[in-house]
Amino acid sequence: MGTIFGAIQAGTLTALDLSFNGGLLFRINSLGDAPVAANTNPQGFWIGTRTGPSAVSVYRNGNAIASSTTPSSGVPALSMYLCASNLDGVPNFFVGDQVSAFFIGGGLNAAQAGNLSSRINAFMTAVGANVY
């Protein structure tokens, strides 16, 4: 249990917790809201995208699995940490998972998320490291 990536500042979070007590927490510039779905398996290619001031979608291996109407509360003014959270400037919530690809962007629709997932999986297949 830990954070795949994150920055947390004064209650505003941008973070991915794939299995926090069995729940998927995907927060994009939002407050500490509840899990968006149940999840206990961190394996796969995950995409979270904010498509509007109160719209967040989560994809796993190119498939939509959850969405929320969580409003944006601002962007943390901290560096993003990978395999941990930057908790007000202090590394915390470490996770021992392996990460093969990471990006930050915004506003992906379902087709774009699916295309990106397919391309990353094709690359991972070519190097013998795909997981789906």
pLDDT band at 18 (very low <50, low <70, confident <90, very high): confident
45-to-32, 118, 120 alpha-carbon distances in Å: 23, 10, 8
Q: How many domains does the chain have?
A: 1
pTM: 0.86
Q: How far apart are CA 86 and CA 76, in angstroms?
A: 10
Residue 39: is its pLDDT beyond 70?
yes
Q: Can you state the percent helix, strand and coil of the chain, rounding each to 5?
A: 15, 40, 50
Specify if 132 maps to a domain.
no
To the nearest 10°, the Cα dihedral for 21, 71, 57, 130?
-60
Range of the domain at 19: 5-126
Average pLDDT over residues 17-45: 84
Place of tokens 């796969």: 44
Q: What is the pLDDT of residues 75-114, one digit of tens each?
A: 889 999 999 999 999 999 898 888 888 887 778 999 999 9
Kindly state the average pLDDT of the residues 1-23.
85
pLDDT band at 37 (very low <50, low <70, confident <90, very high): confident
- Give the mean pLDDT of the chain: 88
Classify residue 131: in a domain, yes or no: no
Residue 94 lies in a domain: yes
Residue 1 has pLDDT above 70, yes or no: no
Residue 32, pLDDT > 80, answer no
Residue 30 covered by a domain:
yes
The pLDDT assigned to 31 comes to 84
